[in-house]
Amino acid sequence: MEKVIDIEDRIPTLRENRRKRTNFKFIFITTLFVLILFLLLYFQSPYSEIKKISISGDVLVDNTFYEEATELQKGDSMWSFKPKDIEEKLKKMNWVQSVTVKRKWLTTVTIRVKEYQKVAYISKDNTFYPMLENGVIYDATNELVPIDAPIFLQFDDEALRKRLLKELAKLRPEVLALISQINASSTEADPYAITLFMNDGYEVRADISSLASKLNYYPSIVAQIESEETYEKGIIDIEVGSYYRPYSDEYVALEQKDLELEQEVIEDEE
């Protein structure tokens, strides 16, 4: 037989539940009011303004250039801009690979820029301009730049130049730093043939299509050559396989070829 609970016995429980609901509503409304008041005070206070714009990753241009490009200014509201809009604006620059914009703490905007890597220089109008890994010739500066990358000579073919730049970007930094100059030496048989002049005195003959995969082994190739007691500087050919020829042998072969050509001319004249 079920026990019958008198309504008078339930009144204290109902009153307690009603009191809890009332307290919850009061706490919720009070919290919401405090939050709204805090936000109003925050947006009216200096704590909602940009106090610092921090930019990193700038190499080709200084951070002042990027700061002006964003059109952000100290004193602007931290919420007056959309990070994605700033990112898209900076990525329109053809030397910028990616951008990340974030709000940090209450008053700082951080902008992290990743520029395309500078891998070579090219001469234009008697001035050397940096070339980036994406093929762009960066000529947006009038300042003199240090020659800290290889110089391209005889590279009028833009498609060939871009392909070579991509290969150079794959090189280890210590190997790239060893290259002084790169000449195009294309032939009908091999349109991708190039000649590299190294800072350590060697000459490398290579093919653009396999340059990075082979030239990254350059230090070990040179170490093997110089492990011989009678070694001398020369030509390292990595176009097909990998072999070495001293300059003395190369010069003898060239002299012999010149003598043969002179003999042919004399015979023709007779």
DSSP-assigned states of every residue in 182-206: EEE---SS-TTEEEEEETTS-EEEE
- pLDDT tens sequence across 170-216: 999 999 999 999 999 988 888 999 999 999 999 999 999 999 999 99
| pLDDT at residue 125 is higher than 50 | yes
| pLDDT at residue 10 is higher than 80 | no
CA–CA distances in Å: residue 188 to residues 97, 156, 196, 227: 35, 16, 19, 37
Tell me how far apart the alpha carbons of residues 70 and 125 are, in angstroms, rounded to a whole number: 32
Residue 182: closest CA among 200, 208, 158: 208
Local confidence band at 3 (pLDDT 50, 70, 90 cut-offs): low
E-assigned strand segments in the chain: 52-56, 96-104, 108-115, 118-124, 127-132, 151-153, 179-184, 193-198, 203-207, 234-237, 243-246
How many other C-beta atoms are found inside a 10 Å radius of the C-beta of residue 81? 17
> Of 2-6, 90-94, 109-113, 262-266, which gets the smallest average pLDDT?
2-6
CB 51 within 8 A of CB 107: yes
Most confident region among 143-152, 205-214, 239-248 by mean pLDDT: 205-214
| pLDDT at residue 41 is higher than 60 | yes
| 118-259 has the same fold as 47-115 | no
What are the φ/ψ torsions at residue 225 (nearest 5 degrees)?
Answer: -65, -45
Helix-helix angle 83-91:63-70, to 10 degrees? 120
3-state secondary structure of 56: strand
The residues facing 112 across adjacent strands are: 56, 100
| pLDDT at residue 51 is higher than 50 | yes
Domain ranges across the chain: 47-115, 118-259
What are the φ/ψ torsions at residue 34 (nearest 5 degrees)?
Answer: -65, -40
pLDDT of 142 = 53
| pLDDT at residue 98 is higher than 90 | yes
- Name the token pair of 7: 């309504």
Domain 118-259 sits in CATH at: 3.40.50.10960
Global confidence as pTM? 0.72
* CATH class, range 47-115: alpha beta
Local confidence band at 1 (pLDDT 50, 70, 90 cut-offs): very low
Q: Is the dihedral of CA 233, 236, 242, 244 positive or negative?
A: negative
How many other C-beta atoms are found inside a 10 Å radius of the C-beta of residue 251? 11
